[in-house]
A and B are shown apart, each in its own frame.
Chain A
Amino acid sequence: MRRVVGLIVWLVLVAFLVLGVLLIHPFGYPPSQMDDYIIENAQEETGNNNVVASVVFDYRGYDTLGEATILFTAVTGVLLLLRTLKRREEGS
């Protein structure tokens, strides 16, 4: 029973992913105005020569905030896990 359910879930997932790959837009289509806008205006709006830095820290700041939060969570998790394992080894 579990195998049948697992097979059905797997098939649905694979079909979903294959369909997603097949239905994706052709590369560069539809043409977006956002990249042209950023290339034209990033230097005078944010003063950065490095346009990537201006996208990462200015236009898409929320994304970088999420990245920093992920890093923080990962560090906290690793330290927490290693400490707990150490204590359990000593206790047993």
Chain B
Amino acid sequence: MLSKIVRTVANQLILFILIFGLYVIAHGHLTPGGGFQGGAVIVSGVVMLIVAFGSKELKKSLREHVLSVMESSGALMFIILAFIGIGTVFFYNLLVGTPIFGRIPPDGPNPGDFWTGGVVPLMNLAVGLKVVAGLSAVVLAMALFSSGEEVEE
């Protein structure tokens, strides 16, 4: 555990890092970024918390079985979304033209409408969930292992 100054600053910063990561995930179909990148941003916040508070403290709030359930559900969501379009072809974008994320943007540069993209925003969300949970579990397990703590079953 580091000094009180570092802990306070990390406590304040984690909110902004979370908001930025969620923004990158949610706007993956409009701006550069997406599930993988936004998930990595959020995991960098988790690493900052591990550095500031120590892995023993973080183990109390980040349960490993919750993380593995999150990761598995993200993977499952991704595959189910891929199977939605199986009537035409695997990974067919069925939601284009429907009320859910189905609007079609004008051709060329435009300000961007959030409700576009078909299944792509939902897939970004699934992949983001998966990356956040998986990489957090890996980082936490490595930190616990190197500090000699027990990795939780």
Contacts and interface: CB of A to CB of B under 8 A. Distances in A.
Interface of A: 43-50, 52-54, 56-58, 61-62, 64-65, 67-68, 71-72, 74-75, 78-79, 82-83, 85-86
Given A46-B117, A72-B71, A82-B151, 12 more contacts: A43-B107, A47-B29, A47-B93, A47-B116, A50-B32, A57-B123, A61-B90, A62-B91, A64-B127, A71-B134, A72-B134, A79-B151
B22 interface: no
Question: Which of A48, A49, A62, A64 lies at the interface centre, i.e. has the most chain B CB atoms within 10 A of its CB?
Answer: A49
Interface string B46-85: 0000000000000000001000100100010011001000
B110 interface: yes
| Majority DSSP secondary structure for residues of A touching B | helix
B18 interface: no
A81 to B, nearest CB: 9
Question: Which of A57, A62, A71, A83 lies at the interface centre, i.e. has the most chain B CB atoms within 10 A of its CB?
Answer: A57
A62 B141 CA distance: 30
The 8 closest A-B pairs by CB, nearest first: A61-B91, A75-B134, A47-B116, A48-B29, A82-B145, A57-B120, A57-B123, A48-B117
B1 to A, nearest CB: 22
